Amino acid sequence: MDFFIQLFTDPVGFYNQHELLIAQIGINAILAISIFVTFYSGQLTLANAGFMAIGAYTTVIMSLYLPTPLPVDMLVGALLAAAIGFLVGLPVLRLRGVFLAIATIGFVEALRLGVILNLPITGEGQGLKNPSADPLGGIVPILISVPILTYLVWRLTHTRLGQAWAAIREDELAASSNGINVPAYKMVAFVISALVAGYAGALETHINFFVDPTEYSVTRTIQILTFAVVGGTTNVIGPIVGAVFLTALPEIVRQFAAYRDVVNGIILILVIIFRPQGIVGRGGLAIIAPRWWTRWRTRERAAAAH
Amino acid sequence: MSALLQLTNVNRSFGGVHAVDNVSVEIEEGTIFGLIGPNGAGKTTLVNLVTGYIRPQSGSIKLLSPPPPASEKGSNSPPPLAGEGRVGAAVELARRPPHAVAGMGIARTFQTLRLYRNLTALENVLAGMHLRRRDDTLQQLIPIPAFLKEDRRRWQHARELLARVGLDPDKFGNRQAATLSYGDQRRLEVARALALNPHLLILDEPAAGMNPAEKDRVRALIQQLNQDGLTVLLIDHDMRLVMGVCRHIAVLNFGRKIADGPPATVSQDPAVITAYLGSQAQKTAAHVPGSEEMDVAATSTAVSAEPTSPLLEVRDLQVSYGAIQAVRGVSFGVAKGEIVALIGANGAGKSTILNSLSGVLRPHSGVARFGELDLTTAPPDRIVSQGLIQVPEGREILARLTVRENLELGAWGRSNGRSAHRDIEGLMKQFPILGQRRDLPAGQLSGGEQQILAIARGLLAQPKLLLLDEPSLGLAPQMVDTVFDVIKKIHNDGVTILLVEQNALRALEIADRAYVVETGRILLSGTGAALRRNPEVQKAYLGG
């Protein structure tokens, strides 16, 4: 409760006290945007943790060995994640549903256990120290990126591309009969998702002093998936709400912090049973909007129809 | 008129089945072309070949000199379609992916509705305009009114398309597609196909599951679209619709084209009548209605009274799938020891009736009693244990299990293992086809052998009444004979049988009594012999 009281009565103090939490919420919100893009095009891909790792390691390795400025390192990290996303997508996107999910999980684990733990330049199992880490400065690009990315992806769903994604999600066969090049548009979604995940990984290294390979395992990917499931995927706000809610929750109920995963699991089950469309349903914040508001909207619409 | 689409010696087989066997068809520009044939004839496979969903193994599919797209009335001419070869010489369609075929101006609807169910009606149509929408990422990123002019034009055009197929855009435009009524969903699918601004519109069973009034509206719509200059390829089971609206018809059977010509010629073609009514049709067709034999048959109709104390009694049965009413009040009875047949064209509701008797489906209303058991509420396992056993359409054998294992599963519900074992051995002797293949995986049996296995499996549950759903489906003629011999044999052993068949004349040959089902209602009833000579039966199938 103190958490909320402080949030409203003393926002500046709240910000100073919870800076790392806010940064983490921002990172998770960006990851939620990343998984939203693939979900919106109807693909259950769980490779986000892998692309994060690529973004993070690339950024840190570049700041260790190259004189390039940090923003360039981060950009290269995100672009490399996108490029590898393209290569991974070539074979993997022929799969659908659960098979796609398993293949992408396979990619995450193969990257971590096969590549990161065996390449000397990544510090192998030891991880890497990040020379350019700046926890307090790192929060600024995060706080700027979240609204910009949200806006971009929200507008993207209204473009020709976004419309094709929605059609593919609803019915691939019908989409191709409408002239939509299904494999190509799926690939675009997968690459954009990889780009955003890689960017989130690069941002995260900026607030941590250390890149730790265990951060980028399947557990992380599943955590990102829960953002999308709990928040809902009919629009970009859904996964972000899920990310904010699930990241802040252990702070709100401190007494349960030790049982964080248990609480997350219970929330996930409750959402799947009672609100399968997620907290944010079709047409915005359905559950948060008061009932008179929805009633008023329906009446408005009915009036407009006549 | 010149040809628009030309198929030459197109072949496609799945495993050992020739789904499309050396078919050549030419569709003229501006026509309404009908493609008909019994269930499993290869019609939808042919459509999938043309639209790129399936690749032909040999043969060519050519789109000939497509004219530039006609611009829509009331809207600025749409931007040219993406895709090569829009204007010019013949374009080979085989081996092109579906989206490229769509880019050539070929739009289609699907036999089973494939709408974007969670999008609104308008969004469905807008998605259909994909190829006519320019990439607008930058305009959408800065959504100021000046940049969204194109957007508004597309919405306006989508509303016009909805209106064109008879959906009021104000009323239905913002409704989620899945919430529309079945007929409206079919119409919406047509609107979405039209959004492509096609040369050729392929409608795969647009009137399936519709009532007569809805069918009339579909018919009017097809004619209207054709008058507006669209070439239409129509596939449907409803002969009245096809015969009424098409100018040219091709008939497929077992993947082969058996007839091709104007409707009047095709409906008189002996090969077509055989394909639809079964191998005995030509003999019967030779009888001129009103001849002596006909009169004899007519008197015998009166003899076949409904049983007074039936084993199975069905009264006013109604069954719906969501918005579609498949069975609209059907009453009939089956007495102990009879073979009763339900015949009728595909989609008439025959299988639905069986499924609602065996507890797979729940009827909407009506009475269905089997002895003391109320079939409308009893759980399926109880229905089976009381001796009402269904042999489902398409056989549903377990392909990876051996013949023996399949039979053992049929005896699942029986408590006495030894007697079940004895019965299995008995069946293996009775049907040597199964005995010889006892250790083969059932999936390796031929279709007819699988059918016999499915019937034998049904027998192991010790039926009092056996429901057989399309036992001759997809079988070669000799195999049909074998299967019908088996049915006669088990009937002689004392099993009562309710048979559903598309192959009407074969079914009528062995049936004591039969009912002709059409669009969910019983049209005619009588003894098998009488109905066999009744010209109305042929009419029900071919739309006369």
Note whether B383 and B452 are same-domain residues.
Answer: yes
* Chain B nearest C-alpha distance from A208 (Å): 33
- Kindly state the helix (H) or strand (E) to which residue B408 belongs, with its residue range: helix B403-410
* Chain position carrying tokens 């800065």: B142
Q: What is the pLDDT of residues B187-229, one digit of tens each?
A: 999 999 999 999 999 999 888 767 677 788 889 999 999 999 8
Amino acid (1-letter code) at residue B438? R
- Residue A173 with chain B: CB contacts under 8 Å: 53, 98, 110, 114
Q: Is A291 on the interface with B (CB under 8 A)?
A: no
Contact call for B196 and A178, based on CB within 8 A: yes
- Say if residues B530 and B304 touch (Cβ distance below 8 Å): yes
Tokens of B448: 């007819």
**Confidence (pLDDT) at B83:** 43
Within this chain, do residues B342 and B199 fall inside the same structural domain, yes or no?
A: no
Measure the CA–CA gap between A219 and A223, rounded to whole angstroms. Answer: 6
Same domain, yes or no, for B138 and B35?
yes
Whether the CB of A167 is below 8 Å from some CB of chain B: the reply is yes
Asked, for residue B282, whether it belongs to a domain, the answer is no
Q: Is the pLDDT of residue B283 over 60?
A: no
Judged by a CB distance cut-off of 8 A, whether residue A160 touches chain B is: yes
Tell whether B519 is covered by a domain. Answer: yes
Instruction: Confirm whether B427 is domain-assigned.
Output: no
Angle between helices B417-430 and B447-460 (to 10 degrees): 150
- We report the CATH number of the domain holding residue B359 as 3.40.50.300
For residues A35 and A48, give the distance between their C-alpha atoms in angstroms, rounded to a whole number. 7
> Are the Cβ atoms of B98 and A158 closer than 8 angstroms?
no
pLDDT at B291: 36
List the single residue in B with minimal CA-CA distance to A150. B141
Within this chain, do residues B243 and B109 fall inside the same structural domain, yes or no?
Answer: yes
* pLDDT value for B73: 37
Residues B178 and B253 in one domain: yes
Cα separation, B506 vs B276, whole angstroms: 11
Taking only residues 120 to 159 of chain A, the set having a beta carbon closer than 8 angstroms to any beta carbon of chain B reads 152, 155-156, 158-159
For chain B, the average pLDDT equals: 82
Q: Any idea of the CA torsion for A281, A287, A292, A293, to the nearest 10 degrees? A: -50
- Nearest-Cα distance to chain B for A152, in Å, is 7
From B33's Cα to the closest Cα of chain A, the distance in A is 20
The yes-or-no verdict on residue B75 having pLDDT over 60 is no
| Domain final residue, candidates B268, B283, B305 | B268
| Averaged pLDDT, B471-476 | 75
pLDDT at B293 over 50: no
- Which of A163, A178, A181 is nearest residue B192 as measured by Cβ atoms? A178
Q: Identify residue B240 by its one-letter amino acid code.
A: R
Over residues B105-149, the pLDDT tens digits come to 999 999 888 999 889 999 999 999 999 888 888 888 888 887 788
Q: Are A69 and A87 in contact (CB under 8 A)?
A: no
Q: pLDDT higher for B390 or B283?
A: B390
Nearest to A170 among B117, B137, B195 (CB): B117
- Is position B235 within any domain? yes
B183 and B142, same structural domain? yes
Distance from CA of A40 to the nearest CA of B (A): 12
| B305 within some domain | yes
- Higher confidence at residue B69 or residue B468? B468
In our burial notation (b when 16+ CB lie closer than 10 A, e otherwise), range A110-120 reads ebbeeebeeee
Where b means 16+ CB within 10 Å and e means fewer, B481-519 reads: ebbbebbeebbeeebbbbbbbbbbbbbbbbbbbbbbbbb
B92, with CB counted inside 10 A (0-12, 13-18, 19+), is: exposed
Mean per-residue pLDDT over chain A, rounded: 86
- Joined together, the tokens standing for residue B515 give 């009912």
B410 assigned to some structural domain: no
- Cβ contact (<8 Å) for B137 and A152? no
pLDDT number for residue B301: 41
Question: Contact at 8 Å (CB) between A213 and A125?
Answer: yes
Q: Is B126 helix (H, G, I), strand (E, B) or coil?
A: helix
Is the same domain home to B327 and B234? no
**Chain B partners within 8 Å of A152 (Cβ):** 141
Q: Which domains are assigned to chain A?
A: 2-305 (1.10.3470)
Question: Given an 8 Å threshold on Cβ–Cβ distance, is B140 in contact with A180?
Answer: no
**Res. B295: pLDDT tops 50:** no
Interface contact flag, B135 A160, Cβ < 8 Å: yes
Question: Closest partner residue to A163 among B98, B130, B174, by Cβ?
Answer: B130
Instruction: Report the greatest alpha carbon distance in chain A.
Output: 70
A residues 255..284 contacting B (CB < 8 A): 282
* Residue B306 pLDDT class (50, 70, 90 cuts): low
Q: How far apart are CA B195 and CA B465, in angstroms?
A: 51
Candidates A178, A236, A297, A298: best to mutate against B (most CBs of B within 10 A) is: A178
Kindly provide the ipTM of the predicted complex, given to two decimals: 0.83
Question: Do B250 and B183 have their domain in common?
Answer: yes
Selected for mutation to probe chain A from B86, B96, B113, B116 (highest A CB count within 10 Å) is B116
Mean pLDDT within B173-194: 89
Of A158, A170, A179, the CB nearest to B116: A170
Is B466 found in the same domain as B368? yes
**Are B251 and B122 part of one and the same domain?**
yes
Residue B251's SS3 state is strand
Cβ neighbours of B199 (radius 10 Å): 23
Find out whether B114 and A173 touch, Cβ atoms under 8 Å. Answer: yes
Closest CA to B509 of B274, B270, B276, B280: B280
Q: Please report, rounded to a whole number, the percentage of residues in chain B having pLDDT higher than 90.
A: 27
Q: What is the DSSP string of chain A?
A: -HHHHHHHH-HHHHHHHTHHHHHHHHHHHHHHHHHHHHHHTT-----HHHHHHHHHHHHHHHHHH----HHHHHHHHHHHHHHHHHHHHHHHTT--HHHHHHHHHHHHHIIIIIIITT-GGGTGGG-EE-TT--HHHHHHHHHHHHHHHHHHHHHHTTSHHHHHHHHHHH-HHHHHHTT--HHHHHHHHHHHHHHHHHHHHHHHHHH-SEE-GGGGSHHHHHHHHHHHHHH-SSSTHHHHHHHHHHHHHHHHTGGGGGGHHHHHHHHHHHHHHH-TT-SS-TTS-TTTS-HHHHHHHHHHHHHHH-
Contact flag A163-B133 (C-beta cutoff 8 Å): yes
**Does the pLDDT of residue B64 top 80, yes or no?**
yes
Residues A129, A211: Cα–Cα separation, whole Å: 6
Q: State whether B127 and A179 contact (CB < 8 Å).
A: no
- Per-residue pLDDT averaged across B342-359, rounded? 86
Kindly report the nearest CA distance between residue A178 and chain B, in angstroms.
5
Enumerate the residues of chain B whose CB falls inside 8 A of the CB of residue A163: 123, 126-127, 130, 133
Whether A155 sits inside 8 A of B143 (CB atoms) is yes
Residue B170 structural domain: 3-268
B236, B268, B300 - which closes a domain? B268
B420 within some domain = no
CB contact under 8 Å between B119 and A166, yes or no, is yes
Question: B135 phi and psi, to 5 degrees?
Answer: -65, 125
In a domain? residue B287: no
Domain endpoint, select from B268, B303, B320: B268
Residues contacting residue B254 through CB under 8 Å, at least 6 positions apart: B18, B21, B40, B41, B42, B476
Give the minimum alpha-carbon distance from B16 to chain A in angstroms, rounded to a whole number: 26
Q: How many CB pairs under 8 A join A and B?
A: 98
Contact B130 A171 (CB under 8 A): no
pLDDT tens sequence for chain A (306 residues): 667 777 777 777 777 778 888 899 999 999 999 999 999 999 999 999 999 999 999 999 998 888 888 889 999 999 999 999 999 999 999 998 889 999 999 999 999 998 888 888 888 778 888 877 777 778 889 999 999 999 999 999 989 999 999 999 999 999 999 999 999 999 999 999 999 999 999 999 888 888 888 889 888 898 899 998 888 888 888 899 999 988 888 777 777 777 877 888 888 888 888 877 777 765 444 444 555 555 666 666 556 555
Please report the pLDDT score of residue B415 as a whole number.
75
In this prediction, residue A297 carries a pLDDT of 61
Beta-carbon separation of A174 and B116 below 8 A = yes
- In a mutational test of the A interface, the residue from B110, B122, B123, B130 whose CB has the highest number of chain A CBs within 10 Å is B130
Nearest to B99 among A155, A158, A181 (CB): A181
Average pLDDT for B287-313: 52
Residues in B closer than 8 angstroms to A158, CB to CB, are: 140, 143
Spatial separation of the C-alpha atoms in residues B129 and A2, rounded to whole Å: 53
Chain B residues with a Cβ under 8 Å from any Cβ in chain A: 51-53, 81-83, 97-99, 102-103, 107-108, 110, 114-119, 123, 126-128, 130-131, 133-137, 140-141, 143, 170-171, 174, 192-193, 195-196
The 8-class DSSP code of residue B414 comes to -
Burial of A299 (0-12, 13-18, 19+ CB in 10 A): exposed
Q: Backbone phi, then psi, for B68, in 5-degree steps?
A: -60, 150
Split into its structural domains, chain B has a count of 2
Do B213 and B347 lie in one domain? The reply is no
**Given this model, what pLDDT does residue A305 score?**
54
**Closest by alpha carbon to A58, among A26, A83, A36, A34?**
A83
| Residues B262, B319 within the same domain | no
Taking the Cβ of residue A21 and every Cβ of chain B, the question of whether any pair is shorter than 8 Å is answered with no
